[in-house]
Structure 1
């Protein structure tokens, strides 16, 4: 398996946790790690390299500082908002990785692997270029902005199984950057929005279990189907239940991060477990967000008890923060 991460120094700890969890659940599988490095320090590169060596795995670092600057020069009005510019690196995998790498599984650093994922990696894409899991909670305004209808799925980019050969041969990198330029270098969710537009009709949908966003633990299946007409066509109530309780990949894509002191994330014990297997095992929880963690968890509880209240909060956040 060719596994790709993209990070700067700030997320190295979380990437190490993801890597350790992946190895622990895929011990019989050959794994090559490819890290798109936006200024990762020599110290952290050495830590990650030694961890991979301990597990008998290979890790290659690809400096992308120059490419990030190149993006700033090429994309007029580039503004990634609250997201690190490194989030755009996954669009450049075809240019960065060796031509011999023809298929990859990209993972966000804030993921933990809890089961064998060789079945996911071996999935045949046929005429599709990527495989991703749906994100039914995306704002309707975002779907409309990127050219999707109510009947279309919007996909989360925290896990992408990518046919890199087809990506290169069809020059998808250029297509992505050209689309971003037409949007003035600004989209609410950056590369994720770009991929949903450019790869429309070329994404194979996989189950929520392969990209289980931790907030979804508090959502009723019926609520998600109400939010997205397309969701129920590819995810049954039973498969969603199994994904909730036995996910393959957990994605901490919310503000209830397991590394924050006072967090009450349902899946935080998984992060803590694999953190102990990394060179960052002695890292302390981030202080200063304890009150926010309590408030955020309260919102998650409300999600289950009173979905319209969560929707009201979500809409206000979009209008006050994201839309701007």
Structure 2
């Protein structure tokens, strides 16, 4: 069985893409993957690194350079300091990928894969379903639906993990629908590609289990998430299949994510083996003073303690 994976990146995310891919290959050794990498400005060295990593596991990497005009007029709003316009390329996968591929699993590259993804890959996608997704941690925020102008009953999904029905996308011209919607309602699109895809596909999706996109917010001490919810989902939080660092990244000097170290386990299987943000004396000092209020109890812990669930 061939499993098709898609990532859209720029040069700054090559190492993080390498971590995502190595974790995928390591934890799915019996599967065969073709990785479709959408990027405009990768160097030959960047491509060689990713190609070699895929080849080491007997998998294949393919590269696509989209036309810059594809994103003419698009802008990055929320989290503009972490995202580039490349984030929108996932909206055009049906136009970019070969027509003989009928489904693809899109993965952000702030993700590590920690288990068997074949159950997700085999999720039924009927003629009325454009995508299989996991609800976003912000799906209970009613203001989002007021801005996006669709019913809260349709929910709101995270766009970092998308099992895409490419047949549906081609038949319903989803790539063009995204362009048309953005040009018509640019003021509604705050969370970039995620808002756009929710607007276009909110009636044509299927929701899958949380284990397929365990987001940073699920680990947070937040009024919207009760201790009972954390206890109910303790097994998924401890053992996610797809772990998604949606907010502060593990490579940020001040990351407090309880599974931060998992990222570095897989980084050490890439050409960046051994590199750590705390190797910088400056970052160690910055981390100490940034986290000091949490250490001495002046501020409440941002994240739950997995051992206490």
Superposition pairs of residues 16-165 of structure 1, within 5 angstroms: 16-64=18-66, 67-72=67-72, 75=73, 78-81=74-77, 82=80, 83-126=83-126, 127-138=128-139, 139-165=141-167
Are 2:221 and 2:301, in contact at CA under 8 Å, matched by a contact in 1? no
- Match of residue 234, structure 2, among 241, 244, 249: 241
C-alpha deviation, 1:269, in angstroms: 1.4
Aligned length: 289
Q: Is the 8 A contact 1:68 1:86 kept in 2?
A: no
User: Is residue 136–residue 153 contact of structure 1 (8 Å, CA) maintained in 2?
Assistant: no
Change (3 A) 1:149 1:301: farther
For 1:115 and 1:238, the matched residues in 2 are separated by 21
CA contact 1:52–1:58 (8 Å) conserved in 2: yes
The residue that corresponds to 1:315 in the other structure is: none
Q: Is the 8 A contact 2:155 2:202 kept in 1?
A: no
TM score, norm. by length of structure 2: 0.85
Q: Once the 2 structures are TM-superposed, how far is the Cα of residue 142 of structure 1 from its aligned partner?
A: 2.1
**Residue in 1 aligned with 2:209?**
207
Q: Which residue of 2 aligns with 1:309?
A: none
Q: Distance in 1 between matches of 2:293 and 2:62?
A: 37
Contact kept in structure 1, 2:148 and 2:188, CA below 8 Å: no
Residue 277 (structure 2) pairs with residue 285 (structure 1): yes
**1:53-80, CA deviations, whole angstroms, 9 ceiling, x for partnerless residues?**
111110001112xx233321xx3xx321
Cα distance in structure 2, aligned partners of 1:94 and 1:50? 26
Structure-2 separation of matches of 1:128 and 1:7: 26
Cα distance in 2, alignment partners of residues 142 and 214 from structure 1: 19
SS at match of 2:64: strand
Partner deviation per Cα, 1:161-217 (whole Å, 9 max, x = no partner): 000011011111111111111123762111110111111121100111111112311
User: How far apart in 2 are the matches of 1:240 and 1:165?
Assistant: 34
CA contact (8 A) 2:32 2:58 kept: no
d(CA) in 2 for partners of 1:258 and 1:293?
A: 15
Contact 1:264 1:293 in 2 (8 A): no
- 2:173 matched residue in structure 1: 171
Task: Give the C-alpha shift of residue 225 in structure 1.
Answer: 7.5
Q: For residue 296 of structure 1, report the CA deviation from its aligned partner.
A: 10
Q: Distance in 2 between matches of 1:6 and 1:296?
A: 37
Cα-Cα RMSD: 2.7
Is 1:294 matched up with 2:287? no
**Number of the residue aligned with 1:308:** none
35-44 or 237-246, larger mean C-alpha shift: 237-246
